[in-house]
Structure 1
């Protein structure tokens, strides 16, 4: 397991945009996360990189027994082999000659001991001591971790050649877990998008998730969580099976990329404050359960430090300046931060095609929105004018809406069929549109409902298309590229080098974003009020859904009080706290108007 030399990591971004990020940055010591939702995409990317790095390649066909797990394992092994090769190459380079090895150390934050040692050696004249210290520094270099993301609730049950359901270990999420677990990687499994007890239980089938006699865990578990309660519940479930959560990764409910899982109105500062105050409770709760499990199994729980037993707490979602990051690390005691969307404009780090990259660079705030395109029925951060949006509109104009559903990862609907189908599929959309046409609703309402049906997009295919185009596997004329940036991307307006972005993160040199960029907490607040405003139009006062909105309102009021305290505190360099103060004042009035107007109506 490699310790993160940086105070940031690059989170998963879609199925394709971070799929080869470790190949691009791990040799430089930067942690990143791969999605393995799309094993068929993994196979195509594996073939490409095997050719590029002259590695043996044998196709694993779609019909192969346990093919999904084998394709994922094979891809991860390929990434591991390439990263290992690239890292060894830079370790063998001489220092202080302006090469990739020097870049490794120059990218590190100023607080890192390796950076301090590097700078000390650079000005050392004693040759013997210099050589000795260089060797010591060399031995302490570590590559970035090749972490793997599984969306826990994207877990369709497969069928055999006779269309009969397979056993649960062949479900999509379980097969993906097996592919990762059977790989030689020493890294972390990032579980997101909900709690899946069946999948979590399956983790205990693999010994790599437990401590060895030296106290090390080869494969660690990271949970993306929305609040402290969720962390406690999920962590206890795993602890009872002896699985320790190495990290809880807090993500803003709305101010993030990809699918947006709105909280009950609890803003990020409120959530972070609770984690800061209660973080010791996590270790105190989980450790006895873990030790009891080891004892019941007849295993000896090795002696390790309190730090090794305590889960790390990190945060991501909308961070845009070094000042914001410093507040998260210093005020809230976060161990690290995740920077996602800005890296979509760093070709050295992510896999984005030219058309989409230019679209992102030119995007203004009005171009970024929470959409209904996901077949999962969850709000999806989107950008107007994407190749996917253009293709979907073309299909609608031709009177042939929907996808052929070539991959079927998001099948879940049984409204019209016995076996689940995807709401973005042509099969479902034709059936649903016919149902709407036969209803007694007004023509205006029918049109509204049909538009909602037809906006669903084949994310399984389209989120990977941009990476295939970028790597030359697919022609740009194919189009259909989908991408899921957070709204933070609006303030980054061109392509950047990796060094530029890392220097921006650490506050080295001129900021890449203008001073007027709103604070991340301000943007999150606006998004929640927008979200409540839209829901209020579809809800009548007194309904159960209305009561949920009232609860969200109360939580937002609490969050705004805290945000105002932050706005009146001393700003970290690059923090736009004035925007936070103005936003709280405006959104407080706006929120009151939403509820007052609906009660009057």
Structure 2
């Protein structure tokens, strides 16, 4: 592994071609492969840019989703391989890409140390030998892909019946499996999908070769240790090894937020730190049994299992703590990279909004049609378009992509809650229900808050590359985490690497609490919101567990602080303030249950 960090998937478009931008520098990044129209648009863009023949893959063709994905991934892979070969032959001179490659590496890496030796060498023969060695050590970052497992809408044939193995997520998985990517991983996020995982069992591309090497690997994004154990066992029983568990903060993240029961990131990381060996052993036994049953080679020891984390990381000290104390293989830096045009695909207007964003500009909204809370940046054209439609008496969005069509409240075939069709039907139902005015307005707001994410999270690429994804739909939505409030300017790729590795500081002059404090504050705000909405004893009991877990998390953090693992001078005081805020919320709880 060349770098100590990776760039996670962001939205649909924001990392759609990040490997083309950063892989040649050894940086791994993740492409979302669920929106195939966006992928087709990117195929056209890159084939045209390279003056190569572009042959459209029509949505009327058989298995078009999988074929679009396969071809795009092959194209990206080919571009990266060409870039790497060009970089390997570049001159070692100031400003060249080969110099940039080595200068961005972490200072403690063996390759960086060798590079420093090369720079210090004065004898011609020694320099030539070191130069040849350095060129041979250049390794590209991984081209990984992401499927949000819940985005698995059925697709139907001409006979009106669901297409076998033709659902969105299954077809996307097939597209990746059939690609020529090697040393790559597929990231499954948002929980377990038995249908998708059962199809994965059929994909021999994820098997280890005779030397025990997996050319295509599985990463599972999880919120806690229990989720890793459940999903890991499910896959191991099918002969699929999880090569990495990628932990993400429940609330201090971009996009969809899956709040835990008040269990904070630190205690979750501690579970993995102390329980990784046990987890590995438990999964390996099931994995070996499954391989044996199908007559496959059973390795003598477990394949590597990495643990990584992402969500709200913002400083070199935090990066080091996660790497050293929690023994993470890499850390995920998402939101800050939205301000790095060399790494992500963000149009100029949206980039400006991101740079100016303050904490109040990022909302933990109800905007997602999936019914999951969703962080997004206020003030963009997606929000303006949604409000304009309502004011004109035309609420909802045209549903061209249908990837989030899951609601069957009014229709036999699922539709999207952000669609014109659903919102008209739902508003009509609310108007006929004769609800009290305050309840009607609250219910109406939940309906109208839903925003089209399929195009909204894709259109930034269309704007940046001066093309069109869907005719007459150009509104943009972006989903940074709350961490964006602390990063206030565009940065170069070199500057961001220097920031991560402690050679520079993009937050100089900015007062930013520790990532654990930022997450804790988000959880306290979430608890306060839920208490205001408490509807009975059952919910109150759940919130009491939530509150207790926050208290346990604070006690755990206090131990870390006292042990010097988090030396931040303000950390203890901020923990005390948070404790006081949680204590004050007990009065709110009493009021809401009367």
Q: TM-score, normalised by structure 2?
A: 0.96
How far has the Cα of 1:579 moved from its partner?
6.3
* In 1: Cα distance, 2:473 partner to 2:290 partner: 53
Farther off after superposition, 38-47 or 156-165: 156-165
For the residue of structure 2 that corresponds to 1:300, the secondary structure is coil
Quick one: which of 10, 13, 33 aligns to 1:13?
10
State whether residues 411 and 423 of structure 1, in contact with CA within 8 Å, keep that contact through their aligned partners in structure 2: yes
* In 2: Cα distance, 1:553 partner to 1:505 partner: 33
Say if 2:523 is the partner of 1:528.
yes
Q: Which residue in 2 is equivalent to 1:125?
A: 122
* In 1: Cα distance, 2:234 partner to 2:272 partner: 19
Q: Which residue in 2 is equivalent to 1:481?
A: 476
Q: Which residue in 1 is equivalent to 2:138?
A: 141
How far has the Cα of 1:327 moved from its partner?
1.2
* In 2: Cα distance, 1:341 partner to 1:128 partner: 45
Q: Which residue in 2 is equivalent to 1:296?
A: 293
* In 1: Cα distance, 2:568 partner to 2:475 partner: 37
C-alpha change, 1:567 and 1:139, in structure 2 (3 Å) is same
Q: CA RMSD in A?
A: 1.9
Q: Which residue in 2 is equivalent to 1:280?
A: 277
C-alpha change, 1:234 and 1:571, in structure 2 (3 Å) is closer
For the residue of structure 2 that corresponds to 1:37, the secondary structure is coil
* In 2: Cα distance, 1:442 partner to 1:213 partner: 68
Quick one: which of 150, 166, 186 aligns to 1:170?
166
Say if 2:162 is the partner of 1:161.
no
Q: For residues 468-507 of structure 1, what are the structure 2 equivalents within 5 Å? A: 468-474=462-468, 479-507=474-502
State whether residues 519 and 579 of structure 1, in contact with CA within 8 Å, keep that contact through their aligned partners in structure 2: no
Residue-by-residue CA offset, 1:43-89 (whole Å, 9 max, x unaligned): 00111011112233210011111011111111111111111111111
How far has the Cα of 1:96 moved from its partner?
4.3
Residue-by-residue CA offset, 1:486-511 (whole Å, 9 max, x unaligned): 00000111111111111111111234
C-alpha change, 1:151 and 1:158, in structure 2 (3 Å) is same
* In 2: Cα distance, 1:120 partner to 1:259 partner: 45
* In 2: Cα distance, 1:200 partner to 1:79 partner: 26
Farther off after superposition, 258-267 or 526-535: 526-535
State whether residues 353 and 466 of structure 1, in contact with CA within 8 Å, keep that contact through their aligned partners in structure 2: yes
Say if 2:510 is the partner of 1:510.
no
* In 2: Cα distance, 1:135 partner to 1:123 partner: 15
For the residue of structure 1 that corresponds to 2:457, the secondary structure is helix
For the residue of structure 1 that corresponds to 2:447, the secondary structure is helix
Structure 2: runs of 5 or more not aligned: none
* In 1: Cα distance, 2:79 partner to 2:483 partner: 32
Farther off after superposition, 187-196 or 551-560: 551-560
Q: Which residue in 2 is equivalent to 1:269?
A: 266
Quick one: which of 521, 539, 542 aligns to 1:545?
539
For the residue of structure 2 that corresponds to 1:6, the secondary structure is coil
Quick one: which of 417, 427, 438 aligns to 2:421?
427
How many residues were matched structurally?
A: 592
Quick one: which of 403, 425, 449 aligns to 1:455?
449
Q: For residues 330-349 of structure 1, what are the structure 2 equivalents within 5 Å? A: 330-349=324-343
* In 2: Cα distance, 1:451 partner to 1:598 partner: 22
C-alpha change, 1:14 and 1:152, in structure 2 (3 Å) is same
State whether residues 526 and 587 of structure 1, in contact with CA within 8 Å, keep that contact through their aligned partners in structure 2: no
For the residue of structure 1 that corresponds to 2:31, the secondary structure is strand
Say if 2:202 is the partner of 1:208.
no
Quick one: which of 33, 36, 41 aligns to 1:39?
36
For the residue of structure 2 that corresponds to 1:201, the secondary structure is helix
For the residue of structure 1 that corresponds to 2:219, the secondary structure is strand
C-alpha change, 1:243 and 1:575, in structure 2 (3 Å) is farther
Say if 2:571 is the partner of 1:577.
yes
State whether residues 16 and 466 of structure 1, in contact with CA within 8 Å, keep that contact through their aligned partners in structure 2: yes
How far has the Cα of 1:162 moved from its partner?
3.6
* In 1: Cα distance, 2:278 partner to 2:146 partner: 26
Q: For residues 91-106 of structure 1, what are the structure 2 equivalents within 5 Å? A: 91-106=88-103
Q: Which residue in 2 is equivalent to 1:189?
A: 186
For the residue of structure 1 that corresponds to 2:24, the secondary structure is helix
State whether residues 20 and 34 of structure 1, in contact with CA within 8 Å, keep that contact through their aligned partners in structure 2: yes
How far has the Cα of 1:442 moved from its partner?
1.2
How far has the Cα of 1:379 moved from its partner?
0.3
How far has the Cα of 1:111 moved from its partner?
1.4
Q: Which residue in 2 is equivalent to 1:394?
A: 388
For the residue of structure 1 that corresponds to 2:253, the secondary structure is coil
Farther off after superposition, 40-49 or 129-138: 129-138
Structure 1: runs of 5 or more not aligned: none
Farther off after superposition, 468-477 or 455-464: 468-477
C-alpha change, 1:49 and 1:574, in structure 2 (3 Å) is farther
Q: TM-score, normalised by structure 1?
A: 0.95
Residue-by-residue CA offset, 1:332-356 (whole Å, 9 max, x unaligned): 1111100000000111111111111
Q: For residues 309-324 of structure 1, what are the structure 2 equivalents within 5 Å? A: 309-324=303-318
State whether residues 71 and 179 of structure 1, in contact with CA within 8 Å, keep that contact through their aligned partners in structure 2: yes
Q: Which residue in 2 is equivalent to 1:30?
A: 27
Say if 2:365 is the partner of 1:368.
no
Residue-by-residue CA offset, 1:131-158 (whole Å, 9 max, x unaligned): 2232222222110100000011110010
Q: Which residue in 2 is equivalent to 1:248?
A: 245
How far has the Cα of 1:457 moved from its partner?
0.6
State whether residues 96 and 122 of structure 1, in contact with CA within 8 Å, keep that contact through their aligned partners in structure 2: no
State whether residues 518 and 579 of structure 1, in contact with CA within 8 Å, keep that contact through their aligned partners in structure 2: no
Say if 2:323 is the partner of 1:329.
yes
For the residue of structure 2 that corresponds to 1:23, the secondary structure is helix
